[in-house]
Structure 1
Amino acid sequence: MKLCNRYRLHLISDEIYGLSVWDNPKVKDNVGFTSVLSIDAAQFMDPSMVHVVWGLSKKLSLTNGLNKDFGATGIRMGCLISQENRAFLDSAEGISLFNFPSSLADNITAKLLTDDQAVDRFVSLNQSRLAESYQFVTNFLRKHGIPYRESNACLFVWVNLAAAVKGAPLSDEDILSKLSNEKVYVTSGSTYACEEEGWFRFVIAHPRNVLDEGLRRIASAVL
């Protein structure tokens, strides 16, 4: 905020995975989620230049907020919050007419987010299940000597499959081809502009039997 204030920059906080966090003592400086909205921005910068997005696609349109923290794939909803800048919200509202959500999705989202008890129950359960899935997946990775990045948030694990391949080195494309032959779909780091080859994103938000079978097939494909 102080940096934004110094250079008169808008602060845009993307909080799409803010509720999908858990405790992982192996993460250095392990911290939970703190929304920028919980900070008194006026102490550090012009509050009219502080904005929060919950769900932001690559095309800069607000989408998929419920898809992440609430697992509600298909409800194409996102939120833009700017508490001290009415003119900015009016401008955003004007362009949102071209991609506004359906009335059904709008109504479902409003009912969900205004039920504090239901939200608290769901978030707590989701966090505990993500933590369990993360532990299950990383135990497998360590057992098979597959490098990965420690994490305490999100629905994914960042994995270096290239470093675990036995025999001759394989390109990302070769690894993806081998995984495809086993009917396993993961995305390579190149999709996310990763600086190094060999990294892949594993989704861990699956039932245990799906994770178990998927990991077995991955091991069969590349180890």
Structure 2
Amino acid sequence: MLSKRITSIQSSVTGIGLAKCLKNPYKAESNPNGIINAGTAENTISHDLVAEKLSTIEPPSKRDIDVLKYHDYTGLSPLKNTLCSFLTKYSKAHDQLDPDKLVVLNGCGPCITALTIVLSDPGDAWLMTTPYYSSMKNDVGRLPLAEIVSVDLCSQTSGENGKPFQLTVDKLEDALEQATQKGINVRGLILINPHNPLGDIYSKELLMDCLHFAKRHELHVIADEIYMFSVFDEEAEFTSVLSLEDLPDPDRTHFTWSFSKDFCMSGVRCGVIYSWNKDVVSALSGIAFWFSVPTVMQVTLKSMLCDEEWVAQTYLPTNRKRLRNAHEVMSKGLAKIGIPHLARSAGLYIWADFRKLVSPLTFEAELEVFYELIDTGVYIAPGQAYYCKEPGWFRIVFALPRDIQDQEDVRPFLRRIDKDVITKYIPFADRISPKKYPNILFVTA
């Protein structure tokens, strides 16, 4: 018999979508009628640059025989040193990062899991804004056996400068107070910045407000900055916790990042934790055995980052330019077929409003639209996969493979949505009537 822990795990909506894509994947030349995957959280837009670079890196030779032995499970010193130099430079860190405060583990998800194991007991909870990255519930829950207390954000705006799904400290305070009244022991706050799936970048002021909130309540903060180098708007300003000169509570502040999104290397499985708390780092070393990264991969990644000219002059600017262009094409394409969406400056996703297609406006009907899209040959994930409290929102990945990016006009999957789904739910005569559907962007030509 399997354990209760395993048998309680059920297939997620995103798992269903990915499984269908894997069985019938879209290929521009060989399988043009396959399912287009715009739902899986991957950046594949610069795979060619990374693959070309990796092909130039020689594998370990006889001189590097030590990589075949047991090693420090928190990461090889050469990689730690290189990562500290890299992160110091590109995060604009106030001080040079210390390799003794850095831990290398097999992905950002495992980094979150390891931190929550170290910082919380089974039954404890962590604050997170909804919607949030769907796997975070598993990262916090499956091994650490902790819970997530939702800080619910909504699409309605308030105030002169309000925007949809806006985080405020007041919302954090309310969620914490409600959890406390229920007897829930909240241990910390997890901030994804830039955000998945919203694409928001938290201002320095808001970031500091959140850190001060955590200090007031003696909460740990995990700053997940996995998209820190995927800020594609040249005028957008991103503030890393690593750059803050006056961290309110360094001993309770912990940074995570990985190669998966920013370097198009989700299969490589290498992430990092930086913590100013020596006891936390020591505790992480005690469980790193279960989360370690193969030494050969660490040597390869170290060599890649050491080519500073390639990183600074080729990869980072090209990847950002491609993300910027892909976002622009996707945004314009969605507007053309009448799908409102949030305009944001970072990440790999667009948070899109399909509420006019979801009738009645329920999560059950949202799921029907999800399956309708799959049948049409399009996989995008519904908001319920990200614990959004409002039905009708979908996350669309725009960092798609180049064979899709290079298609003329609107991407094939946008044409499929327009032809096979939108026209089914909203007749064309109604679609061009802004008075009837005032919240949708219309194209009359």
**TM-score, normalized by length of structure 1?**
0.82
- 2:230 is aligned to 20
Residue type at the aligned position of 1:141: L
Larger Rg: 2
Report SS of the residue matched to 1:178: helix
Among 323, 330, 343, the alignment partner of 1:130 is 323
Matched residues in 2 for 1:162 and 1:7: separation? 37
What is the percent sequence identity of the aligned residues?
A: 32
Report SS of the residue matched to 1:148: coil
CA-to-partner distance for each residue in 1:141-178, whole Å, 9 max, x for gaps? 11121111111110011112232x39x65821221122
Unaligned runs of 5+ in 2: 1-210, 423-445
Structural mapping, 1:55-134, within 5 Å: 65-82=258-275, 84-120=276-312, 121-134=314-327
- 2:367 is aligned to 173
Matched residues in 2 for 1:179 and 1:139: separation? 20
Instruction: Report the alpha carbon displacement of residue 3 of structure 1 after superposing the two structures with TM.
Output: 2.8
Report SS of the residue matched to 2:254: strand
Residue type at the aligned position of 2:298: D
Residue type at the aligned position of 1:51: H
Q: 1:92 to 1:196 in 2, by over 3 A?
A: same
Of 89-98 and 4-13, the range deviating more from structure 2: 4-13
Instruction: Report the alpha carbon displacement of residue 133 of structure 1 after superposing the two structures with TM.
Output: 0.6
- 2:189 is aligned to none
Matched residues in 2 for 1:33 and 1:124: separation? 16
**TM-score, normalized by length of structure 2?**
0.43
Among 208, 216, 235, the alignment partner of 1:6 is 216
Matched residues in 2 for 1:221 and 1:108: separation? 45
Matched residues in 1 for 2:413 and 2:219: separation? 44
Among 416, 425, 439, the alignment partner of 1:217 is 416
Contact conserved, 1:22 with 1:32, CA < 8 A, in 2?
no
Matched residues in 1 for 2:231 and 2:272: separation? 20
Q: 1:97 to 1:146 in 2, by over 3 A?
A: same
Instruction: Report the alpha carbon displacement of residue 139 of structure 1 after superposing the two structures with TM.
Output: 0.6
Q: 1:9 to 1:216 in 2, by over 3 A?
A: same
Q: 1:95 to 1:181 in 2, by over 3 A?
A: same
CA-to-partner distance for each residue in 1:47-66, whole Å, 9 max, x for gaps? 23322011xxxxxxxxxx21
| Cα RMSD, aligned residues only | 2.2
Among 197, 201, 207, the alignment partner of 2:391 is 197
Matched residues in 2 for 1:190 and 1:47: separation? 34
- 2:250 is aligned to 47
1:187 aligns with 2:392: no
Report SS of the residue matched to 2:227: coil
CA-to-partner distance for each residue in 1:64-117, whole Å, 9 max, x for gaps? x212111113101110011x3222111112112112122232222222233332
Q: 1:205 to 1:189 in 2, by over 3 A?
A: same
Q: 1:2 to 1:73 in 2, by over 3 A?
A: closer
Residue type at the aligned position of 1:31: A
Matched residues in 2 for 1:187 and 1:2: separation? 34
Unaligned runs of 5+ in 1: 25-29, 55-64
Of 178-187 and 99-108, the range deviating more from structure 2: 99-108
Matched residues in 2 for 1:3 and 1:73: separation? 33
Contact conserved, 1:19 with 1:33, CA < 8 A, in 2?
no
Matched residues in 2 for 1:216 and 1:191: separation? 24
- 1:62 is aligned to none
1:156 aligns with 2:346: no
Report SS of the residue matched to 2:287: helix
Residue type at the aligned position of 1:17: Y
Report SS of the residue matched to 1:222: helix
Of 105-114 and 120-129, the range deviating more from structure 2: 105-114
Matched residues in 2 for 1:201 and 1:77: separation? 25
